[in-house]
Amino acid sequence: MSEKNSGAAFVKAILSLVFLLILGLAAAFFYFQMVLQEPVSHKLSEKIFTVARGSSLEETLKQMESDGIIKNALILRLYIKVSGHSPLVKAGDYKFPSPLNAREALAVLEAGGIQPRKLTVIEGWTRFEIADAMVKIPELKLASRKEALKLMDNVKLVQDLDTHVSNLEGYLFPDTYFVQSETTARALVEEMTVRFRQILKKVVGRTGNPGRLSVHEAVTCASIIETEAKLQEERPVVASVIYNRLKLHMPLAMDSTVVYASKLAGKWKGNGIIYQSDLDLPSPYNSRKYKGLPPGPVGCPGESSLAAALNPVRSNFLYYVRDPARADGAHTFYNNAADFEVGVAKLRRWEAEQRSKGLR
């Protein structure tokens, strides 16, 4: 074969290879587009598809392929890589209509799923209020407050922190929690205690524990501070009143403990009024009758109350009363009973004036 013919044959071979390559790429592109655009019918349109916390995009796509929502997870991953955008997969519940193509399925993921229900635990709530709120969330499948409260008796969740704990009062951290279709009430209670641990570690790391309080003492004090002080700046001062009274072996005589005793006895009317029958309750939580700290927390404290319990200000205050001149819940603090009684009388006169005006 001549050199000229040999060269022509080589060029022909190269052209044939190029043609086959182009044909192959065209076929691949056609298949790629077909997989992306072909509608897929599946049986999950009326069911919830859940992306668990921590799931990667790859894991999610594989599960969608396994459930028949998409045809080929690999093709969709290639499309995501070629298109240059990788959607952030959010944990949550999703609904995929049927039929839909791969791009539409990806759009559902990118939208972030069905808005989950929220449980917002308010600072100062007791486990009773938390139980009532949980019962109202259908996904948690709780039949009654009693059933919810039983889950809050699982002291193993915090027993390494507090060996005196009898239930999870005080250890269910106030925050907003998201409830998905797969969330169980038990898991939600555990999540609240995990959040408590995180915040306690953060607070101790920032402020230390100069008084060398046990966790039980700190949380019990913080729970009283939470419900006694509305203003964050007053909480370390209220903490000082608690510790000053304890040092002098005076009853704490704080309303929040009386309210909690009444709730435990099932007598609290929920109208904000403390009756004489509440004050007379023979409960160790009633700090008007019994000296020392109550047996345990009287609610669930937030971060600033925990910090105040661990780091009170130095003061000689023993009393405080609401300042009627202010509408923000501020208090006036006293170091002697005589001045305190003057402050109480002032508040009572103001309350009487408000009642006469029909404002209270």
* Domains in the chain, CATH or no CATH each: 27-111 (3.30.1490.480)
68 conformational bin, left if phi > 0, alpha if psi -120 to 50, beta if neither: left
- pLDDT score at 3: 56
d(CA 71, CA 2) in angstroms, rounded, equals 54
Helices (H), the chain: 3-37, 57-66, 73-83, 102-111, 127-135, 145-151, 185-207, 215-228, 235-247, 255-264, 276-279, 303-310, 337-356
pLDDT score of 24 more than 70: no
Q: How far is CA 138 from CA 58, 109, 145, 175, 286, in A?
A: 31, 24, 13, 20, 36
- pLDDT value at residue 360: 53
Task: Let me know the angle formed at the C-alpha of 264 by 166 and 293, rounded to the nearest 5 degrees.
Answer: 60
Most confident segment among 47-51, 138-142, 144-148: 144-148
Q: How far apart are CA 143 and CA 159, in angstroms?
A: 27
Report whether 287 contacts 252 (CB < 8 A): yes
How many residues would you count in the chain? 360
Looking at per-residue pLDDT, the higher value among 16 and 204 belongs to 204
Q: Of 133, 95, 72, 311, which is closest to residue 208 (Cα–Cα)?
A: 311
Phi and psi torsions of 270, nearest 5°: 75, 15
Q: Kindly report, residue by residue over 297-311, the tens digit of the pLDDT.
A: 999 999 999 999 999
Angstrom distance (rounded) from CA 325 to CA 97: 60
Strand, helix or coil for residue 192: helix
pTM of the complete model: 0.74
- Residue 69's CB is within 10 A of a number of other CB atoms, namely 23
262: pLDDT strictly greater than 60: yes
Q: What is the 3-state secondary structure (H, E, C) of 26-58?
A: HHHHHHHHHHHHCCECCCCCCCCEEECCCCCHH
pLDDT band at residue 26, thresholds of 50, 70 and 90?
Answer: very low
Q: How far apart are CA 36 and CA 26, in angstroms?
A: 15
Question: What's phi and psi for 343, nearest 5 deg?
Answer: -65, -40
